[in-house]
Amino acid sequence: MTHSQLKEAAGLIEFIGAAPSPYHAAAAARDRLVDAGFTELSETEVWPRGGSHLVVRGGTLIAWHVSEDGRLGTGMRLIGAHTDSPNLRIRPRPELSHLGYRQVGVDLYGGALVNSWLDRDLGVSGRVVVQLPGKRDVRLLKVDRPWLRVAQLAPHLDSRRADGLQINPQTQLVPILGLESTRAYSFTSLLADELGVDPAAIRSWDLMTHDLTPGSIAGAGGEFISAARLDNLGSCFAATRAMTDHVKGGAERGGIAVVCLFDHEEVGSSTSSGAAGALLPSILERIVLSLGGGREEYLRTLAGSMLVSADMAHAVHPNYEDHYEPGHLVHLNQGPGIKRNSGQRQATDALTEAAFIGACERAKVPFQIHLNRADRPCGTTIGPLLSARLGVATVDVGIGQLAMHSARELCGTDDVGHMVKALASFLRG
């Protein structure tokens, strides 16, 4: 592991710590891009011609840079990833009391490994809508204190343990907030104290839990990153770093570079800020319009564009070798995995695979080819959605990891730097 690779790994851990929710992830990416010279724009204002800009809608961020050689009809280089991860979401009416305990009602978001959320100290994060005199305000909330815990039942009291752990998410995944015998308080009053407002001012929220254990460099030789939300903040960090490197390096070539970090991928992407919605097509068309083009130039630009869909990949697990296609294994610290699937659950084809291999070769980083077993289902990404919606050539790639969708995941330390370099090479063209 080189100093540069260790620096990228530490940067990812810092990024994850700042981004317990999609809203914080978009804000953390925005802050890094603004530091690199990007300007945040409103969707309702007239946009300037060229330059480096970004927009944020909830937990989604889209940033673009027009290089000196950028011109209409020559295509865009796009990188897509997603900011959301499976977790426990706080219900709109969360207050529960039972047998002397104060509890908080939650819903499962995405395909979480439920057992991994048990017996962890959990904080709360997201956004809260507050009604102030004369205006409505949206506040980001990040509570890095152990407010909540989902306690397991002791094995002495559970005769079914021999059949494996089974959790009913409605009745057995309810976090404990405290005891009723403690001073009078509620979840809403705790939020109000954090935000410095009256409880009556809180109108609504999009809140979730996060594991409070910090990310770390792990393994006897420092080979691993152990952290929450690697899927898919690992890709968001790499995409943001690639864009900042692209701009700081002069970016005199590369045409139009775009990074899009979407919310709601884990639940299908069909939202106003998701990859299946109208947000990205409208922003791409507005970029073309800001450069003086029209519908014809927009469609020509799309026809010459290419997208890298970056989402974490399944690395081979030493205890479950028979779950993987033996000729297409992804190993930790051996470079990005290029994902293929005959059923088009991944959007890669021969042409886009070759193009990404070229980017890896220019960056001097290794790469791997990933394919699922024929007798097991294949997950999907935003790649096929955007490829179909935009008609853009797409390659699906990802950093290999273990324990995907767990509250705490594992990837290779070197692979973060490998992915940053490969994506930066792709943006340069």
Q: Are strands 400-402 and 176-179 parallel, antiparallel or unpaired?
A: unpaired
Q: pLDDT digits over 85-125, tens only? A: 999 999 999 999 999 999 999 999 999 999 999 999 999 99
N-terminal to C-terminal alpha carbon distance within the chain: 27
Q: pLDDT digits over 356-380, tens only? A: 999 999 999 999 999 999 998 888 9
Task: In whole angstroms, give the CA distance from residue 102 to residue 406.
Answer: 26
Mean pLDDT computed over every residue of the chain: 94
Residues 6 or more apart whose CB falls under 8 angstroms from that of 107 comprise: 88, 89, 91, 169
Q: Name the pTM for this structure.
A: 0.96
Q: Specify the pLDDT at position 161.
A: 66
412: left (phi over 0), alpha (psi -120 to 50) or beta: beta
Q: pLDDT digits over 187-227, tens only? A: 999 999 999 999 999 999 999 999 999 999 999 999 999 99
Averaged pLDDT, 59-64: 98
pLDDT band (50, 70, 90) for residue 166: confident
Give yes or no for residue 184 having a pLDDT over 90. Answer: no
Task: In whole angstroms, give the CA distance from residue 236 to residue 214.
Answer: 18
Beta strands in 156-283 (DSSP E): 176-179, 202-211, 216-218, 224-227, 256-262
Give yes or no for residue 322 having a pLDDT over 60. Answer: yes
Q: Specify the pLDDT at position 345.
A: 93
- Compute φ and ψ for 382, nearest 5 degrees: -75, -10
Task: In whole angstroms, give the CA distance from residue 261 to residue 60.
Answer: 5
Query: Among 70-74, 260-264, 353-357, which is the least confidently predicted range?
Result: 70-74
Task: In whole angstroms, give the CA distance from residue 356 to residue 318.
Answer: 28
Q: Which token pair is 259? A: 């990074």
Using the CB atoms, write b or e for 224-251: b if 16+ within 10 Å: bbbbbbbbbbbbbbbbbbbbbbbbeeeb
* Domains along the chain with CATH numbers: 3-85+228-428 (3.40.630.10), 87-211 (2.30.250.10)
